Chains A and B, each alone.
Chain A
Amino acid sequence: MSVIAAQTVALDGAVGHLIDVQADVSPGQVGTTLVGRPDAALSESRDRCRMAIINSGFSWPATKRVTVLLSPADLPKRGTHFDLAIALAILAAANGGATDADAAAATAEEVAEARGRAQRFLDALPHTVVLGELTLAGGLRSVPGVLPMVLAASAKGVRSVVVPEPQVREAQMVPDMSVLGARSLTQVVAHLRGDEMPDAPPVAEMSGSRLLAWRGQERLEEVDLADLRGLGEAKYAVEVAATGGHAILLSGSKGAGKTSLAERIPGLLPDLVPDEALELTALHSLAGALEPQDGLVVRPPYSAPHHDASKASIVGGGSGQVRPGEISRAHAGVLFLDEWPLFRADIIDALRQPLESGEVTIARREESVTLPARTLLVLACNPCPCGEFSAVPGANRCTCRPQALRDYRARTSGPIADRIDITRHIGPLRPHEHDPFAPVETTAEVRARVHAARVRQHERYADYGWRLNAHVPGPVLRDRWPLVPRAQRLVDDALYAGRLSSRGAVRVQRVAWTVADMLAVRRGEDVVPDRDEVDVALRLRAGDPLLGRTIARAVS
Chain B
Amino acid sequence: MTTKATQTTRATTPKTRRQALGAFGEDVAARHLREQGMVVLDRNWRCDEGEIDLVLRDGPVLVVCEVKTRSSLACGTPHEAVPDSKLERLQRLGQRWLAAQGFDPPGGTRVDLVAVLRPRTGATRVDHVRGIG
Contacts and interface: CB of A to CB of B under 8 A. Distances in A.
A7 to B, nearest CB: 30
A29 B132 contact: yes
Interface of A is mostly: loop
Nearest to B111: A29
B115 A28 contact: no
Interface string A28-65: 11100000000000000000000000000000001111
A28 B132 contact: yes
Interface in B71-120: 76-80, 82, 84, 87, 113, 115
B131 A30 contact: no
Interface residues of B, number: 16
Contacts of A29: 82, 84, 87, 113, 132-133
A30 B133 CA distance: 9
A28 B111 CA distance: 10
B5 interface: no
A30 B80 CA distance: 5
Contacts, number: 31
A465 interface: no
B18 interface: no
B42 interface: no
A28 B80 contact: no
Contacts of A30: 77, 79-80, 82
Nearest to A28: B132
B130 interface: yes
B77 A63 contact: yes
A27 B115 contact: no
A65 B130 CA distance: 12
B91 to A, nearest CB: 11
B129 interface: yes
B129 A27 contact: yes
Q: Which of B77, B79, B84, B130 has most chain A Cβ within 10 Å? A: B79
A27 B77 CA distance: 13
B127 A63 contact: yes
Nearest to B128: A27
A64 B84 CA distance: 15
Contacts of A64: 79
A62 B117 CA distance: 14
A63 B82 CA distance: 11
Contact of B77 (A28, A62, A65): A62
A28 to B, nearest CB: 5
Contacts of B113: 29
B133 A28 contact: yes
A458 to B, nearest CB: 63
A27 B130 contact: yes
Given A62-B79, A63-B77, A28 B127 contact: no
Contact of A62 (B80, B87, B131, B133): B80
A28 B129 contact: yes
Interface string A9-34: 00000000000000000011110000
B131 A28 contact: yes
Given A29-B82, A30-B82, A62 B129 contact: no
Contacts of B87: 29
Contacts of A65: 132
A524 B31 CA distance: 99
Contacts of B127: 63
Interface string A64-76: 1100000000000
Nearest to A65: B132
Q: Which of A28, A30, A65 has most chain B Cβ within 10 Å? A: A30
Nearest to B73: A62
Nearest to B78: A63
Contacts of A28: 129, 131-133
B7 to A, nearest CB: 30
A217 B77 CA distance: 57
A64 B82 CA distance: 12
Contacts of A62: 76-77, 79-80
Contacts of A63: 77-80, 115, 127, 129
Interface string B5-28: 000000000000000000000000
Interface string B24-36: 0000000000000
A50 to B, nearest CB: 11
Q: Which of A27, A28, A63 has most chain B Cβ within 10 Å? A: A63
A29 B132 CA distance: 5
Nearest to A60: B77
A254 B86 CA distance: 74
A27 B114 CA distance: 12
A30 B83 CA distance: 8
Contacts of B82: 29-30
A46 to B, nearest CB: 14
A30 B77 CA distance: 9
A144 B131 CA distance: 42
A28 B78 CA distance: 13
Interface string B51-87: 0000000000000000000000000111110101001
Interface in A339-397: none
Contacts of B130: 27
Interface in A255-307: none
A62 B77 CA distance: 7
A30 B113 CA distance: 11
Contacts of B131: 27-28
A508 to B, nearest CB: 70
7 contacts: A27-B131, A29-B82, A29-B84, A29-B113, A29-B133, A30-B80, A63-B78
Interface of A: 27-30, 62-65
Smallest CB-CB A-B distances: 8 pairs = A63-B79, A29-B132, A30-B79, A62-B77, A27-B129, A30-B80, A29-B133, A63-B77
Given A27-B132, A29-B87, A62-B76, 20 more contacts: A27-B129, A27-B130, A27-B131, A28-B129, A29-B82, A29-B84, A29-B132, A29-B133, A30-B77, A30-B79, A30-B82, A62-B77, A62-B80, A63-B78, A63-B79, A63-B115, A63-B127, A63-B129, A64-B79, A65-B132
